[in-house]
Structure 1
Amino acid sequence: MMNMLSIFSPSNYAPFNIACEEYILKNFPEDVFLLYINNPSIIVGKHQNTLAEINYEWVREHNIPVVRRLTGGGSVFHDPGNLNYSFLMNESEDFNRNFERYTKPILAVLQELGIPAILEGRNDLTINGCKFSGNAKTNAFGKTLQHGTILFSSNISDLTAALNPREEKFNDKAVKSVQARVTNVSDHLPYPLSLQDFVTLVRAKVRTMYPDIQDYTFSLRDKEEIQALMNSKYDTWEWNFGKSPRYNLCHSLKTKVGIIEFYLLVNKGIIEEVNIYGDFFTNREISELENALCGIEHKPETVAKVLKDMEYKSFFGEVKLEEIVKAMF
C-alpha cells in the first residue's frame, strides 16, 4: 500500500494552487492531503457564470485573480487569512456520499479547541449557525477530489465586496452561489492562535487519522509542470471567464448624452448578439456598432479595441470609453 503525502504549497498565487490539484490528480499515485493559502482571489465553481458571481468593477480595481476550479458549487473569496485544504484520493467515491469523511479532521481540531463546529446541510461547516467553511467535491481522472475553505482570520468586508454582483444584470441558468452569514474561526477561539499554529494542528490531526502519511515538498520538476498547466489553463481568460455557460446581460448607463442600454447574449465567452437602445442622438446606424461587437470575446480589452476602432463617439457623443466598457460587464 502506497503512503499518503502531506503537501503545503509554496505559492500564494491562486491559479498556481488550483493547478496543483489537477497536476496531483493526474501525476501522483499516492493519496494526497494538500494545504494552501492564497493572496486575495476569487474561486468560482466549474459550472458558474463568472461575471454573475463577482463585483467585476471592484475585482478589476483591486487586481484580484479570478479562477475557475474543477469542482462545482459556489464562489468563494480567498485571502491570507483563509486556509484551503484538499483531499486528493485514489478512489472514485460515490458522488452522492456526504462530505463528512474529509471534513472530519477539521471539525475534530476545532472541537478540541472548544469550538462547537459542525457539518451543516450538505457541505457547509458552521459555528453557531454561521458558515466558516464551504466544501466541494468531484470525481476526476478516476480519483476523488474534495476540498474546502476555512475562514480563519479573513477580511470579511473584502469578501462581501468581491462577491457582490448586480444580480439584475444577468439572466442565465448557471448555478448561483447562496450567500450565507459567515464568521472567522479566530473569533471563537478560547485563546489567541496564529494561522500557522492552526495549520500545525490540522496537519497533526490528519496524521493521526492517516498514520502512513509523509510530508512531501514539490520538486523543481513538479513546480515547472504546475506552472505550465497554470499558464495554459488556470491563468487564462478562456478557462476562467470563457467557460461560463450561456447568459444574457443587460445594463443601462446614464450619461450626459442620455441613457444607453446594452443587451448582450454571450455563449462560451463569445458575444453572439448585441442590442443597444437609449435616448441618445447619433448620426450613424447603431446596427453598425452592434454588428462589429458580435463574434468577439466578452473581454474588456477586446471590447475596448472594437469601440475605438469603430470611433464610438460618432455613435454616442462625448462619453468616456471606460464608461461604455464598464456598462458591458
Structure 2
Amino acid sequence: MSIPQARKAGLPLMNLVRFKGVPILKQLHLEEQLLRTSSNNWCIINDGTNIPTIVMGLSGKPSDLLELGSVLQDQVPVIKRFTGGGTVVVDPGTIFVSLICNREDVPDVQPYPHSIMHWSGQLYNEALKGIHGFQLRENDYVFGNRKFGGNAQSITRKRWIHHTSFLWDFETKNMAYLKQPARAPEYRLARSHTDFVCRMKDYMPRSVFIHRTVKAIESHFLVKPVDLDVDTAVHDAEFVHSTRLLMNNELEEAFSIST
C-alpha cells in the first residue's frame, strides 16, 4: 500500500527504528522512555545484542530463576527490565521486536495482556505465514510444541508495549544459567530448556523474518523509518529508568541466601 493510499485508509503512523547489535540494556532504557514520554507509536527492531546477557522480568528473583554460581563465575550480566514476563538469555543470535502503541490507534485491542497477545499472535501469523506449526501458545510463540519467542508487556493508562525476544539462534551452554522455573506453561511438560526451545534459523532466514515482520506491521500502520541514536535518545537526566543492571553484590547476596 502506498503512503497516499495508507493515509486515505486512515492507518495510524508507526515510527520504525532498526538497530544492529545494540546492547539490550540500552534498548530497554530507550523503550521504557518512549513508552512513558512519547506520544507516538514505535516499532523497534534490534538484530542481536552485543554479548550474552540474562534479562529478568520486573518481579523476578535471581535466587529462584538463575544458577547463580555459574552466573557469578562466568560474570554474565543480569538485567531486571521494566516489563513482566519470564527470564531469557539473549545474545547476538536473538532478534528483538518491540511494539509501543497508543491505545486509541489500535482500538480493537483492549489494554489487557490477553487481548494484546491475541493481536500480536495475528500479526506474527502474517509474518510467518506458510511456516508449519506456528501458533501462539500460552503467551509463547511456538513451532509445534517448541518455543522460539518469549513475550513481555507493560500497560499504562493510554499506551502499552509488547516486546519479544526471538531465538533465531542460541548457544546451548547459555541455557544452563537458567533454573527450571516454578511457574511454567502447561505445554512445557517439565522439559529442560534445550528440549523446550528451538531455533528459528531451522525454519527461515534471519533477514526474511525481519522483512516479513515489517510487511505485517505495514498492514496495520503507516510505517515511517526513523534514524535514532540510542545514546542521545536516552540521555535525559530527569527520566529515571526502572530497568537496571543488577550489581555483583546483589547476586552474591542472593546466592548466599539460596545456598
Instruction: Identify the residue that residue 138 of structure 1 maps to in structure 2.
Output: 154
1:161 equivalenced with 2:161 (yes/no) = no
CA distance in 2, matches of 1:232, 1:133: 25
SS of alignment partner, residue 29 of structure 2: helix
CA distance in 1, matches of 2:56, 2:232: 25
- Aligned residue identity for 1:129: N
CA distance in 2, matches of 1:110, 1:70: 28
1:73 paired residue among 79, 85, 88: 85
Which fold has the larger relative contact order, with Cα–Cα distance below 8 Å and residues 6 or more apart in sequence?
A: 2
CA distance in 2, matches of 1:177, 1:67: 21
* Structure 1 residues 12 and 65: CA distance shift in structure 2, 3 A: farther
* Structure 1 residues 232 and 111: CA distance shift in structure 2, 3 A: closer
Instruction: Identify the residue that residue 237 of structure 1 maps to in structure 2.
Output: 246
SS of alignment partner, residue 95 of structure 2: strand
* Structure 1 residues 299 and 162: CA distance shift in structure 2, 3 A: closer
1:206 equivalenced with 2:217 (yes/no) = yes
Q: Residue 10 of structure 1: CA displacement?
A: 5.2
1:215 paired residue among 203, 225, 244: 225
SS of alignment partner, residue 111 of structure 1: coil
SS of alignment partner, residue 16 of structure 1: helix
- Aligned residue identity for 2:224: Q
CA distance in 1, matches of 2:236, 2:75: 22
SS of alignment partner, residue 128 of structure 2: helix
1:160-309 alignment runs, 5 A limit: 160-164=175-179, 176=183, 181-189=196-204, 193=205, 195-210=206-221, 212-219=222-229, 223-226=231-234, 233-237=242-246, 298=250, 300=252
Q: Residue 225 of structure 1: CA displacement?
A: 4.5
CA distance in 2, matches of 1:31, 1:116: 30
CA distance in 2, matches of 1:326, 1:50: 8
1:111 equivalenced with 2:129 (yes/no) = yes
Structure 2: give runs of 5+ residues left out of the alignment: 1-9, 105-109
* Structure 1 residues 79 and 216: CA distance shift in structure 2, 3 A: same
Q: Residue 54 of structure 1: CA displacement?
A: 1.4
Q: Residue 299 of structure 1: CA displacement?
A: 5.4
Q: Residue 32 of structure 1: CA displacement?
A: 0.8
Q: Residue 129 of structure 1: CA displacement?
A: 0.8
SS of alignment partner, residue 43 of structure 2: strand
CA contact (8 A) 2:64 2:179 kept: no
Cα deviation 1:248-303 (Å, max 9, x = unaligned): xxxxxxxxxxxxxxxxxxxxxxxxxxxxxxxxxxxxxxxxxxxxxxxxx7454xx7
SS of alignment partner, residue 218 of structure 1: coil
SS of alignment partner, residue 209 of structure 1: coil
Q: Residue 90 of structure 1: CA displacement?
A: 1.2
Structure 1: give runs of 5+ residues left out of the alignment: 168-174, 242-296, 304-324
CA distance in 2, matches of 1:31, 1:50: 33
Instruction: Identify the residue that residue 84 of structure 1 maps to in structure 2.
Output: 96
SS of alignment partner, residue 97 of structure 1: helix
Q: From the CA coordinates, give the structure whose radius of gyration is larger.
A: 1
TM-score, normalised on structure 2?
0.76
Q: Residue 31 of structure 1: CA displacement?
A: 0.7
Q: Residue 75 of structure 1: CA displacement?
A: 0.7
Instruction: Identify the residue that residue 47 of structure 1 maps to in structure 2.
Output: 59
CA distance in 2, matches of 1:142, 1:64: 36
* Structure 1 residues 236 and 196: CA distance shift in structure 2, 3 A: same
* Structure 1 residues 54 and 299: CA distance shift in structure 2, 3 A: closer
SS of alignment partner, residue 219 of structure 2: helix
